[in-house]
Amino acid sequence: MLRNFFLRLRDDERGVTLVEYGIALTLAVIVGTAALTTLGNAVDGEMGQAEGLMTANDPVVEG
């Protein structure tokens, strides 16, 4: 009885598409997160540079 259940499960491919979509979605989320993190770090660096230039040339902000 248990053997027959596992044999039927082995030949059943109905859930395979759902698993494939799940893997694709997970990969897309990982790649998107990495891209946005990289972009965020680059923008943060540029904004820090711009802030440094603005405050270095503004006598009101110093001190």
Cα distance between residue 59 and residue 56, in whole Å: 8
Does residue 3 sit within a domain?
Answer: no
What total number of domains does the chain contain?
A: 1
CB under 8 Å to 54, separation ≥6 — which residues?
61
pLDDT tens per residue across span 3-37? 888 777 777 777 677 788 889 999 999 999 999 99
Cα 37 from chain centre? 8
Does residue 50 sit within a domain?
Answer: yes
42, 36 Cβ separation under 8 angstroms: no
Cα distance between residue 55 and residue 63, in whole Å: 10
Maximum alpha-carbon separation in the chain: 85
Does residue 63 sit within a domain?
Answer: no
The pTM of this model reads 0.58
Cα distance between residue 37 and residue 60, in whole Å: 34
Does residue 21 sit within a domain?
Answer: yes
pLDDT tens per residue across span 41-63? 999 999 999 988 888 776 665 55
Print the domain residue range for 40.
12-56
